Amino acid sequence: MSAAARAPPPPPPPPSPPPPPPWRGIDSLPTELFLDIIQYLRPEDYASLALAIYPVLGWHGLAPPITDIFFNRIANSHTMPTMSVGTWPLPTELTDMVLHYLAPTDIIALLFSNRNLLERYVPIMPPETRVLLRRWMILWR
pLDDT tens readout for residues 25-64: 888 889 999 999 998 998 888 888 888 888 888 888 888 8
Q: At what angle do helices 68-75 and 127-140 cross, to 10 degrees?
A: 180
User: Quick check: 84 pLDDT over 60?
Assistant: no
78-87, 98-107, 113-122, range with greatest mean pLDDT: 98-107
How far apart are alpha carbons 83 and 33 in whole angstroms? 41
User: Quick check: 79 pLDDT over 70?
Assistant: no
Mean per-residue pLDDT, 119-133:
77
Buried b (16+ CB within 10 A) or exposed e, 40-79: eeebbebbbbbbebbbbbbebebbbebeeebbebbbebee
The confidence band for 80, taking pLDDT boundaries of 50, 70 and 90, is very low
Mean per-residue pLDDT, 52-79:
76
Average pLDDT value for the chain: 79
pLDDT for 86: 56
Is this model's pTM higher than 0.85 or not? no
Among 94, 87, 97, 93, CA closest to 118: 87
